[in-house]
Amino acid sequence: MKTKIFAVLAGIVLITAGCVKTVSDTNKFSVWPVGKDKVLGRYERSLEQVYQAAFKVVSANGVVVQEYIPHDTSNNVRSLQGKVDQCNVWISVSAEDDPKITSAVVQVLTKWGTANIELASQLQTQIALQLQTQSGGS
């Protein structure tokens, strides 16, 4: 009986497991690839300012693993990958159509590939605070 229950549970895990597309245009294994796993922030700052703020936030909370500029997007998108609290973090910073607006998308997945929207929201808030600090509080 125990083996049947284990077999059913293993089957459910295999059926629900899959890959999640990250904001940096890569794929990551996920046991439960459903639900909201990204937080979007829009700022009246340059792409470089928002990217530097995102880099500082990830560095202060964990470690930056990789930085990259996607080849098919020119220079108006920058991304980074990091580890914070044993979670995988991806941040993509892109210039909007309005040259004064830059967006940052923060995506956080646990080591099992499940979403950690709370940490994503926390990091997005810290990016906004970092940008406020950079501008001298005005």
Tell me the per-residue pLDDT of 12-46, one tens digit each, with 9 for 90 and over: 554 445 556 565 556 555 554 456 778 999 999 99
Tell me the per-residue pLDDT of 104-138, one tens digit each, with 9 for 90 and over: 999 998 887 788 999 999 999 999 999 998 766 55
Instruction: Output the pLDDT for position 136.
Output: 62
Which domains occur in the chain, in start order?
A: 19-134 (3.30.310.50)
Let me know: does 119 contact 110? Beta carbons within 8 Å.
no
Let me know: does 108 contact 117? Beta carbons within 8 Å.
yes
6, 31, 65, 107 from 15: Cα distances, Å: 14, 9, 30, 23
